[in-house]
Structure 1
Amino acid sequence: MINRYARLYWEFFKMHVKVKMEYRVDFLIGILSVLLIQGTAIFFVAIVFQHIEALHGWTFYQILFIYGIAQTGRALEFAFFDNLWLLGQDYIRPGKFDRMLVRPINPLFHVLADKLQADGLGQGIIGLIVLITAMVNLPIEWGMGDLLLLALLIVSSGAIFMAVNLFFASLSFWIVDSIPIMGAVFTLSDFTRYPMTIYSKGVRFVLTWLIPYGFTAFYPATLFVENADFEKIGLLSPVVATIAVVIAYWLWKKGLKAFSSTGS
């Protein structure tokens, strides 16, 4: 089963790459626009740190480290799972989703494989640049075990971003278009670019246990940056990612059972 879906995804992937290469200028503009937007945000942080030495005890490169983890994790979600945003608008509302239900593959897989967001490459590039810059400038001796753990945490970060989007996208089965809700929730992920300690306890609770964006960057970062207060929580990141995916997929399955066609 896994091999079959891997081969199918590879075929979808090659098809999307061929389409993108037909419009190479648009492809490059998309990547460059993401680089510009993310670069501007980092430039703003750099300007702030020209006037202060630390933000609630966190230095410039420590915050870059948090930002880098968040961006690389988000890039994974953006590149491979971004189509969830269009579930209601492009699939359920016009009736396109009905066709997916009669095909001999998992409909969620079909939705995800139906689009490859090339702009995620630009986000991944800037994320890696920021992450590597921070890693080089932090007083940390990076061993192979540390790098493997960091890779696992980045994958977990991407899985959490995907799970949150899947959870709220699944509401489209009942309300048809969940983009406004998804957009409002996703805005909260911007908080994860900075140390959670600068926020109130209420905000930290929401971003830790209700919508676990804190596990996409801040808590994983504390495993490498000295901060004993959050180290044990940071170790939970892969567990939280797994639970979040299971809960999101459960709601997806409930939505499938409740689904009734809205197409004409």
Structure 2
Amino acid sequence: MNYVSMFFLYISQYMKTRLTYRVDMVMEILSDLLFQGVNLIFILVVFDHTSFLNGWNRDEIIFIYGFFLVPFAVFASFFNIWDFNERYIVKGEMDRILTRPLHSLYQVVLERMELESLFGMITGLAIMFYAGANLGLSVSWYDPFIFVVLVLGGVFVYASIFIMLASISFWSDSRTSIIPMMYNIGNYGRYPVDIYNKVIRFVLTWILPFAFVGVYPSAYFLKREEWYGYAFLTPVVGAVFFIISIMIWNKGVTKYRGAGN
């Protein structure tokens, strides 16, 4: 209960802070929406030159992109740890974190959350409904529950990868970070993996499983039965990778040397 109460207290303080600078918050939201719009336009431009992409039509690709935006928005809101090395290791703020009784990762997540990124969920859902209507997809009564489970699985997949990357900072305090590059690699998960060669497909499935954020869970709603096995593995992969990431983080904390000389 202490963790739950702290979560809502942080959210309350965050909203007070952000609403003090409303224009900045609105500009960030508009910037995110513009970025998502540019990616959607890119997909539309590609399909101006072809009707299918390795058996996937335009609306199916758009649907996958819309689904991808939902777990990504949740991830970006609560696991915004791209600057962990610079802020908490190099500048020594990890010292402050470790003096408190809550789990260190939980504190970092609360301090770095950006709730305005949740607006990306609205964009993603709108894109999904648009593409789904064009495809004539039917929805069963239990599909919303499956949707939530698959989205959470995708969130944990994304979060686990970046927690692992942030944990590297405990062993190496170099300012150089591969996290920005990993953000770009993560974008591959919003396209069908069978358009890539076998090596990339294997990496996106089992090494850096970004495919479980977009294409695999989307396959269930697109009635792609050949991908159902992967779709239902999404929460399992998310849970396994997240547990591993927490273990690596906890081990890394024991190697933290502090910010002193």
TM exceeding 0.5: yes
Greater shift, 42-51 or 24-33, is seen at 42-51
Distance 2:152 2:166 in 1: 21
Distance 1:157 1:226 in 2: 19
In the TM superposition, residue 226 of structure 1 has moved relative to its aligned partner by: 3.2
Distance 2:21 2:87 in 1: 22
Is the alpha carbon distance of 1:179 and 1:138 closer, same or farther for their aligned partners in structure 2, counting shifts above 3 Å? farther
Partner SS, residue 222 of structure 2: coil
Q: How does 1:1-264 map to 2 (within 5 A)?
A: 3-82=1-80, 84-177=81-174, 180-263=177-260
In the TM superposition, residue 218 of structure 1 has moved relative to its aligned partner by: 0.8
Is the alpha carbon distance of 1:177 and 1:149 closer, same or farther for their aligned partners in structure 2, counting shifts above 3 Å? farther
Letter in structure 1 aligned against 2:117: G
Distance 2:52 2:248 in 1: 42
Partner SS, residue 160 of structure 2: helix
Letter in structure 2 aligned against 1:195: P
Is the alpha carbon distance of 1:189 and 1:18 closer, same or farther for their aligned partners in structure 2, counting shifts above 3 Å? same
Distance 1:153 1:179 in 2: 33
Contact in 2 for aligned 1:160/1:245 (Cα 8 Å): yes
- How many residues were matched structurally? 261
In the TM superposition, residue 158 of structure 1 has moved relative to its aligned partner by: 1.1
Letter in structure 2 aligned against 1:18: K
Greater shift, 52-61 or 120-129, is seen at 120-129
Q: CA-atom RMSD, angstroms?
A: 1.5
Structure 1 residue runs of 5 or longer lacking an equivalent are none
Distance 1:263 1:121 in 2: 37
Distance 2:153 2:20 in 1: 33
Partner SS, residue 109 of structure 2: helix
| Percent identity between the two aligned chains | 31
Deviations 1:180-216 (A, max 9, x none): 2122222211111211111000000000011111111
Letter in structure 1 aligned against 2:141: M
Distance 2:184 2:170 in 1: 22
Contact in 1 for aligned 2:66/2:128 (Cα 8 Å): yes
Partner SS, residue 53 of structure 2: coil
Deviations 1:100-140 (A, max 9, x none): 11111111111111122144133223222212222222232
In the TM superposition, residue 177 of structure 1 has moved relative to its aligned partner by: 4.7
Letter in structure 1 aligned against 2:53: L
With normalisation by structure 1, the TM-score equals 0.94
Distance 2:96 2:187 in 1: 36
Is the alpha carbon distance of 1:177 and 1:25 closer, same or farther for their aligned partners in structure 2, counting shifts above 3 Å? farther
